[in-house]
Chain A
Amino acid sequence: MASLTKPAPRSRPIDGGRILIYVILLSGVILAIVPFFWMVSTSLMTLGETINKQWLPKVPQFSNYSEAWTEAKFAKYFFNSVIITAVTVAGQLTVSILAGYAFARIKFFGRSFIFTILLSSMMIPESVIMIPNFLLIRGQIIPLPGGTWLNTLQALTIPFWGSVFSIFLLRQFFITVPSELWDAARLDGAGHLRFLLRVVLPISKAPIVTVFIFSFIGSWNAFLWPLLVTTRDVWRPLSVGLWSFVTEAGPETQLLMAGAVITIVPILILYFLTQKQFTEGIATTGLKG
């Protein structure tokens, strides 16, 4: 991916055209950033200030954050989100690594047929399968242990363990692992599981990090499904908590913005830590969520 950042070979002296280029690029930056600035600034205002025509609070009200954190229950939502995301990511990684490896390296009956079916299921929009899944989770199609899975951790996580996209991405990488490695490992008496854990995984850091990032973001940002299956606060994640704050708490914009900041910050941290992997993973796989 060196080509992604490689500048054009010709360098030009500073001229009017060049200044224009920077002006355009910088206005793009301003447009991209203004909503973030507005969010942070508003989150530090008093209620009165949010209604006035001003860009910055006179005195930053950091207490808004503690108020949002405790009284508006964002602490609860935050830790729910953390747990949901951790369970989703761990489950999805495990399931996808095993399946991706099998589709790449184990010859079993019906392999390509199953793989084709999985790939074609990626086309189906969420709105089609959402309602049957909702009935399924409520235990109305088959009886579930515990009657209903509404407001449970498993309802929020298990459906996301099977990600065709992650399986596909890992399979594409595992295929490129030289078969000499497998022959050598087999001579040493290793089976597939040991080969996968000891040889394949250590050399697959890049695709695994990419899958990790995608599933993390997908889980943290998920909204529609959690909205359906959380009717109470028990397992409500941040995205739904933020929305219920909009509908239930009324016009306390500064607290709402503090909640938005709390929702966004973990993703930003992940983004800044894995920046290169992030944009390049997306540029090469072309994921659109």
Chain B
Amino acid sequence: MTTSTPPVKPAYRKRRWRWMDVQEQLTGFLFVAPAMIVISVFGLFPIFYALYMSSFKWRVRKGSFIRFGNYEKAMGDWRAVALFIFGFLLLALAYWVWTKALRSRHDGKLLAGIMTALALMGAGWGIMTGWQQMLASGDDNFLNALPITVFYALGTVPAEIGIALVLAYLLYQKIRGQELFRMIYFLPYITPAVAAAVVFRTIFNPRKTSLANQFLSWIGLETQRWLFEPKPFLNVMFGTHLEGLKAGPSMALVAVIFFGVWTYVGYNTVIFLAGLGSIPHDLYEAAEIDGADRWQSFRNITLPLLSPVTFYLALIAFIGTFKAFNHLYVMRSPAALGTVDTTSLVIFDTFYKANQFGYATAQAIILFLIILALTLVQSKVFGEKVFYG
């Protein structure tokens, strides 16, 4: 009888392990289940459903299957799109040839220069011609929103990062009340965008007594129509007569850019401050011993060591401007004639005003692809220049 117990024990143990294993598995699934259900239903399923919707004529109710019809409607003839993308690939090629030529110090430099020039010319031609043809065959409303989005991004991102870098660097010098400054700079970022945008609507009102116009008259300039002004900023302020894309953002969009910068400077400052805090002090001390002045140590220590932070902020900010909706929606006025309508606003209008659900989804997917491409390019081009300690 006693001899029969030893063989039982391992089997019992084994079974108990399995039972505990099953219990562990079950607990795991139960714990994750609520999150998985909500995220699957409202986050994952809609992605596939969006792909599905985008291949139908879908005005409120589902219509006929048109495969890529919505995409062609937005972007125009696919050959034009291909030419346009080909232009950008040539641009990438030019960049690649040029950086490779700089790295290897062979006699091939001249050749590389010629190749780069050729590729650049080809790129310019491809992008311009492709764009013209896309405009001719696609949806002007959607396509014109792309340069507006780019203007908005280029107007906001460098400014908000540059200003934030200066503020953070100055704050980091032993400043009395550093925390108070930081707290105040951060305020715009947490303010509900709709409320802040409503305030900016009155500040950049075309009325002579609006805050922005009071400021202009105070420094001796003419008052402006701001958010109501569709004319290009450069033409209005400097009397130039530029047209089309060369003219740059409209006056109304510049007012929106002010809002974007105002909102995000504080956030960037906080992140920069954290980055500055992680730079070891002995580096500065060593530089000082070697006789470096402040500018030199800023240029050769601070900037390179901050570059991962700068890169991160630029990437996030860029993506953010392409997704931005709330404040743009609140600040736009019909008088601006669509010159502040970035891609996300056009998508919203296609969906909400025009009730073209399938078409709007296709536009949103195109926007997502553009964001994806930009992210990849940005990490490729600038990611290489980042110095990770």
Contacts and interface: CB of A to CB of B under 8 A. Distances in A.
Interface of A: 1, 3-12, 21-22, 24-25, 28-29, 31-36, 38-39, 42, 50-53, 94-96, 98-99, 101-103, 106-109, 111, 114, 117-118, 121, 123-133, 135-136, 141, 158-159, 161-162, 164, 167, 191-193, 217, 220-221, 223-224, 228, 238-240, 242-243, 246, 253, 256-257, 259-260, 263-264, 267-268, 271, 275, 278-279, 282-284, 286, 288
A204 to B, nearest CB: 15
Contacts of A288: 267, 316-317, 320
B202 A131 contact: no
A275 B186 CA distance: 10
Contact of B185 (A29, A126, A158, A268): A29
A98 B36 CA distance: 11
A223 B34 contact: no
A128 B270 CA distance: 31
Residue from B50, B167, B203 whose CB has the most chain A CB atoms within 10 Å: B50
A128 B344 CA distance: 10
A4 B276 CA distance: 8
B351 interface: yes
A99 B34 contact: yes
Contacts of A6: 277
A271 B190 contact: yes
Contacts of B101: none
B174 A12 contact: yes
Contacts of A24: 166-167, 170
A25 B181 CA distance: 8
B29 interface: yes
B27 interface: yes
Contacts of B270: 279, 282-283
A102 B185 contact: no
Contacts of A121: 39, 43-44, 47
Nearest to A1: B274
A240 B330 CA distance: 10
Contacts of B347: 127
Interface of A is mostly: helix
B174 A129 contact: no
Interface stretch (B65-73, B119-127, B243-251, B361-369): B361-369
B42 interface: yes
Given A25-B171, A29-B181, A131 B192 contact: no
B24 A129 contact: no
Nearest to A193: B27
B175 interface: yes
A246 B35 contact: no
A52 B28 CA distance: 64
A278 B183 CA distance: 10
A66 to B, nearest CB: 19
A46 to B, nearest CB: 14
A193 B137 CA distance: 60
A255 B344 CA distance: 30
B34 A98 contact: yes
A239 B195 contact: yes
Given A102-B32, A224-B326, A32 B266 contact: yes
A114 to B, nearest CB: 7
10 contacts: A35-B188, A95-B34, A99-B32, A99-B36, A102-B27, A127-B347, A132-B45, A132-B361, A275-B183, A286-B271
B386 interface: no
Nearest to A9: B281
B198 A260 contact: yes
Nearest to A34: B211
B298 interface: no
A242 B194 CA distance: 8
Contacts of B371: 125
B contact face: mostly helix, strand, loop, or mixed: helix
B87 to A, nearest CB: 25
B271 A283 contact: yes
B364 A131 contact: yes
Given A28-B167, A127-B368, A256-B198, 4 more contacts: A1-B274, A108-B29, A162-B42, A275-B183
A99 B346 CA distance: 37
A123 B326 CA distance: 19
Nearest to B25: A108
B38 interface: yes
Contacts of B277: 3-6
B238 interface: no
A260 B199 contact: yes
Most chain B CB within 10 A, of A1, A127, A128, A164, is at: A127
Interface in B197-237: 198-203, 207-209, 211, 214
B348 interface: yes
B194 A257 contact: no
A127 B198 contact: no
A239 B187 CA distance: 18
B323 interface: yes
Interface string B39-66: 1011111110110010000000000000
Contacts of A129: 42-43, 46-47, 50
A141 B179 CA distance: 51
Contact of A263 (B27, B192, B201, B348): B192
B60 to A, nearest CB: 9
B352 interface: yes
Contacts of B208: 53
B357 interface: yes
Contacts of B266: 32
A5 B53 CA distance: 51
A135 B371 CA distance: 25
B184 interface: yes
Given A106-B28, A131-B364, A267-B190, A124 B43 contact: yes
